[in-house]
Amino acid sequence: SQQGEEDPQALSIQEGENATMNCSYKTSINNLQWYRQNSGRGLVHLILIRSNEREKHSGRLRVTLDTSKKSSSLLITASRAADTASYFCATDSQGAQKLVFGQGTRLTINP
């Protein structure tokens, strides 16, 4: 299956700075989801944004969705060392049960 693209592939910032990750996809979607994966672990759901929504917040997370550009961004504000992980976007397309994952962004927060 085709996967979306995320950029950057890797991001390293200082603690306290903001981190922005971008995701692009190819098909029409019902929603777009962001997940976090700590090394060697499963995925943890962060936030889901529906196709008719443009922005969503959850704590220090802010997600935007632009369906005309088929793109989304995840912003983590005031980053912490514990935010170090890989972040994946995944699209839930109309008529399909399955998620299609992006390539992921490996985020490193330096203390």
Beta strands in 8-59 (DSSP E): 10-14, 19-24, 29-37, 43-50, 55-58
Quote the least distance from Cβ 16 to another protein, whole Å. 26
Nearest to 89 by CA among 47, 26, 39, 27: 47
The rounded distance, in Å, linking the Cα atoms of 80 and 20 is 14
Q: Which is nearer to another protein, 15 or 99 (CB)?
A: 99
Query: Per CB under 8 A, which of residues 47..66 are in contact with another protein?
Result: 48, 50
Q: Which is nearer to another protein, 1 or 68 (CB)?
A: 1
The residues of the shown chain that bind another protein, judged by CB under 8 A, are: 1, 3, 30-31, 33, 35, 40-45, 48, 50, 88, 92, 97-104, 106
